[in-house]
Amino acid sequence: MEQRALSKTASTTLLTARDISAAPHRNAEEVLRQVPGVTLVQHGSEGKGHQFFIRGFDAIHGADFELTIDGIPINEWSNIHAQGYIDLGFIIPEVLQGVVVTKGPFTLPQGAFAMAGSADYRMGIPFEDRGFRAAYTLGTTNRHRLLASYTPSDGDGQTFAAVEGTHDDGFGESRNLNRITFNGRASLLKLGRSNLSVTALAGYSEFELPGTLRNDDVEEEFVDFYGTYDPLMNGRSTRGLAVVNYEWKKDTDSFELAGYGGYRRLDLLENFTGFLIDPDNGDRRDQFQETVSFGAQATHHLGLVESLTLHSGIGIRGDVFSQTETNVGLSLEKIEARRELTGLQMIIHGIAGFRWSPLDNLEADVGSRLDLVRVNVENALADGTTGEGTNIVVSPRATVMWHPAVLWRLFAAYGRGFRPPEARAYSGFEPDRMGIGDDLFMGGEPQTTVADAFEIGTRWDPSEWIGFSLAAFATFIERESIFDHVSGTNLELNGTRRLGGELVLYSNPLHWLSLSADLTMVDARFVESGNQVPLAPWLVSGIRAIATHNSGFRGGLRMLVVAPRPLPHGAKGATLLMTDATLGYHWRWLRVDLELENLLNLELREGEYHYTSNWRQGQPASQIPVLHTSAGPPLNARLTVGVVF
Phi first, then psi: what are they for 95, rounded to 5°?
-105, 25
Per DSSP bridges, beta strands 65-69 and 117-123 are: parallel
Which pLDDT score, from 0 to 100, does residue 60 have? 87
CA–CA distance from 557 to each of 41, 70, 581, 598 (Å)? 19, 29, 4, 11
Which pLDDT score, from 0 to 100, does residue 14 have? 93
Stretches where the chain sits below pLDDT 50 are: 1-5, 435, 437-443
Cβ contact 130:155 at 8 Å: yes
Cβ contact 531:493 at 8 Å: no
Cβ contact 338:285 at 8 Å: yes
What is this structure's pTM? Answer: 0.94
Which pLDDT score, from 0 to 100, does residue 497 have? 94
Which pLDDT score, from 0 to 100, does residue 569 have? 86
Say which amino acid occupies 83.
Q
Which pLDDT score, from 0 to 100, does residue 443 have? 47
Say which amino acid occupies 270.
E
CA distance linking residue 135 with residue 142, whole number of Å: 16
CA distance linking residue 44 with residue 269, whole number of Å: 11
Q: How many CB atoms are located within 10 Å of the residue 556 CB?
A: 23
Which pLDDT score, from 0 to 100, does residue 480 have? 74
Cβ contact 199:260 at 8 Å: no
Which pLDDT score, from 0 to 100, does residue 361 have? 92
pLDDT tens digits for 68-84?
A: 999 999 999 999 999 99
pLDDT tens digits for 34-51?
A: 999 999 988 778 989 999
Which pLDDT score, from 0 to 100, does residue 485 have? 56
pLDDT tens digits for 341-358?
A: 999 999 999 999 999 999
Which among 168, 121, 119, 126 is positioned nearest to 149, based on CA atoms?
126
**253-292 burial, b for 16+ CB within 10 Å, e for fewer?**
ebbbebbbebebebbbbbbbbbbbbeeebbbbbbbbbbbe
Q: Which domains does the chain have, with CATH numbers?
A: 2-644 (2.40.170.20)
Which pLDDT score, from 0 to 100, does residue 487 have? 59
